[in-house]
Amino acid sequence: MPDNQIAFYQSPEGSVSIEVLYAEENIWLTQKRMAELFGCSTDNISLHLKNFKELRKNLEQHCIPETIFDMTIDDYEDFLDQRRRLMAKKIENFYKNFNNDINDENKDDINDYIALISGGENDSVEFKSSLRWDYNQKNTNKVMEYIIAKTISAFLNSNGGKLLIGVSDDGKILGLENDYI
């Protein structure tokens, strides 16, 4: 069927007849027409559409490709590849936004960060003393990088958060100097 065509659907019994629009390989219906097709109220359709929007938002937050609904088990490697790309993009955006937060005229007030630190750690705020320096062993430690990556991954798999590196668990500002040794 060519795009932008109106078609009429009629149930086998002939009791339901619905007008639909075909465009871009999709069939489009108004909520009223969907309610007629499925024999329910428009409120019911609205609820399902809202749930679908929340599902899409949840999938996006967790870096799940939109094509997930069209995939089979044979597409698993493709799924993993797409998810890796989405996660890399999300991490890249996180770092870009973090840098912008520090440089924005509205965000350059150090008092915002002091207040964040004095609030302590919680579900959306995490402190890490260093990216690479192990304060206990007094040397660089690759395990520290893994811990940071794990924290970022946890934020990506939830509602996000702020990771402050160079701050001890008790809120003492340590800086990043040791990470450059």
CA distance 62 to 163: 18
pLDDT of 26 above 80: no
Q: How confident is the model at residue 78 (pLDDT cuts 50, 70, 90)?
A: very high
* Residue range 27-46: mean pLDDT, rounded: 83
- The pTM of this model reads 0.42
CA-only gyration radius of the chain, Å: 25
Mean pLDDT of the chain: 81
pLDDT of 101 above 70: no
What is the residue extent of each domain of the chain?
5-60, 62-97, 109-180
What kind and span of H or E run contains 70? none
pLDDT at residue 82, rounded to an integer:
93
Tally of CB atoms within 10 A around 154? 13
CA distance 24 to 3: 6
CA distance 114 to 49: 42
Tally of CB atoms within 10 A around 65? 19
pLDDT of 71 above 80: yes
pLDDT at residue 121, rounded to an integer:
92
CA distance 69 to 5: 26
